[in-house]
C-alpha cells in the first residue's frame, strides 16, 4: 500500500512540475518576445485554449484582446476560443474585436473564416408590406 501511495504522490509531483514549467515558459516568452510567440509555444506543448486564456489573464500588462487575437492567429478554432472566453467571463464584444484584429493582421493563418456568430432572431419570415403573402392582415391595412 505504501508503494502505491508513494508512486501516486511521485506522479502528482511530476505532473505539478510539468504544469508549472509551461506557465513559466509562457510568462517568460511573453515578457521577452510578446504574446504571440508565448501562445504558439504553449499550443505546441499541448496546452488548451482554456488554459492559455486562464494563465494569460494573470499576466501584467496584457490586453485580453491581444491574447484572443494571438489564439486566432495561431490557428485555434473560433468555437474553442469562444468556449474558453466564456469560462473566463470575456465578453463577446471583446472576442469579436480580437477576431477582426486578427483578420487584419494575420488573416491567412486563421483556422475559421469567421468568428463566433451569435444566434439571434431571424426576421426573414416577416413579409414586407404589400407583398400579398401577409398573414397579419390584408395588404390594404398597411
Sequence length of the chain is 142
Q: How far is CA 101 from the centre of its chain?
A: 14
For 14-66, the pLDDT digits (tens) are 444 445 689 999 999 999 999 999 999 999 999 999 999 999 999 999 999 99
Stretch among 65-69, 96-100, 109-113 having the lowest mean pLDDT: 109-113
The domain locations on the chain are 14-117
What does pTM read for this prediction?
Answer: 0.65
How far is it, in rounded angstroms, from Cα 107 to Cα 109?
Answer: 5
Quick one: cell of 21? 514549467
* pLDDT tier at 106, thresholds 50, 70, 90: confident
CB 56 within 8 A of CB 35: yes
Amino acid at each position: 500500500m505504501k508503494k502505491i501511495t508513494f508512486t501516486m504522490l511521485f506522479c502528482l509531483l511530476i505532473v505539478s512540475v510539468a504544469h508549472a514549467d509551461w506557465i513559466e515558459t509562457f510568462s517568460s516568452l511573453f515578457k521577452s518576445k510578446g504574446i504571440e510567440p508565448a501562445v504558439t509555444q504553449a499550443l505546441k506543448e499541448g496546452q488548451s485554449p482554456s488554459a492559455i486564456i486562464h494563465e494569460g489573464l494573470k499576466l501584467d500588462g496584457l490586453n485580453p484582446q491581444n491574447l484572443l487575437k494571438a489564439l486566432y492567429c495561431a490557428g485555434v478554432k473560433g468555437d474553442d476560443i469562444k468556449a474558453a472566453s466564456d469560462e473566463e467571463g470575456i465578453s463577446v464584444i471583446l472576442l469579436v474585436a480580437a477576431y477582426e484584429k486578427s483578420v487584419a493582421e494575420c488573416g491567412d493563418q486563421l483556422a475559421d473564416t469567421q468568428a463566433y456568430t451569435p444566434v439571434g432572431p431571424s426576421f426573414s419570415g416577416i413579409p414586407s408590406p404589400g407583398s400579398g403573402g401577409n398573414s397579419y392582415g390584408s395588404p390594404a391595412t398597411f
